[in-house]
Amino acid sequence: MRIAMVGAGYVGLVSGACFADFGHEVVCVDKDPAKIESLRAGHIPIFEPGLEETVAANVRAGRLSFSTDLAAAVPQADAVFIAVGTPSRRGDGFADLSHVYAAAREIAASLEGYTVVVTKSTVPVGTGDEVDRIIRETRPGAAFSVVSNPEFLREGAAIEDFKRPDRIVIGAEDQRGAELVAELYRPLYLNAAPVLTMGRRTAELTKYAANAFLALKVTFINEIADLCEQVGANVQEVARGIGLDKRIGGKFLHAGPGYGGSCFPKDTLALTKTAQNAGAPLRLVETVVAVNDQRKVAMARKVIAACGGSVRGRTIGVLGLTFKPNTDDMRDAPSLAIVAALQDAGARIRAFDPEGMENAASVLDGVDYTRDAYECAEGADALVLITEWDSFRALDLERLKAAMAGRIVVDLRNVYRPDEMSRRGFAYVSIGRPDTPAPIT
Q: Which is nearer to ligand NAD, 110 or 122 (CB)?
A: 122
Q: Which is nearer to ligand NAD, 39 or 239 (CB)?
A: 39
User: What number of other Cβ atoms are within 10 A of residue 275's Cβ?
Assistant: 19
Q: How far from 382 is each of 56, 304, 307, 310, 350, CA to CA, in Å?
A: 43, 10, 7, 12, 10
User: Nearest approach, Cβ of 4 to ligand NAD (angstroms)?
Assistant: 10
Binding footprint of ligand NAD on the chain (CB under 6 A) = 6-12, 29-32, 35, 83-86, 99, 102-103, 106, 121-122, 151, 153, 155, 262-263
Q: Are 184 and 3 in contact (CB under 8 A)?
A: yes
First to last CA, the chain: 67
In whole angstroms, what is the distance from residue 417 CA to residue 315 CA? Answer: 24
135 close to 163: Cβ distance less than 8 angstroms: no
Contact at 8 Å (CB) between 437 and 420?
Answer: no
**DSSP conformational letter for 427:** E
Chain-centroid distance of CA 338 in Å reads: 18
Name every residue whose Cβ is closer than 8 Å to that of residue 238 and which is 6 or more positions away in sequence. Answer: 221, 224, 228, 432
Closest contact distance (angstroms) between CB of 108 and ligand NAD is 12
Rounded to the nearest whole angstrom, what is the least distance from the CB of residue 401 to ligand NAD in the complex? 37
CB of 52 to ligand NAD, least distance (A): 16
Q: Is residue 173 within 8 Å of 232, Cβ to Cβ?
A: no
Q: Which is nearer to ligand NAD, 122 or 236 (CB)?
A: 122
Closest CB to ligand NAD among residues 331, 348? 331
- Give dist(CA 16, CA 78) in Å, integer: 14
Q: By the 8 A CB rule, do 254 and 237 touch?
A: no
- Shortest reach from residue 9's CB to ligand NAD, in Å: 2
Residue of closest CB approach to ligand NAD: 9
Name the residues annotated as catalytic.
263
CB 267, min distance to ligand NAD, A: 7
Question: Looking only at Cα atoms, what is the longest distance across the chain?
Answer: 79
Please, which residue, 21 or 151, has the CB nearer to ligand NAD?
151
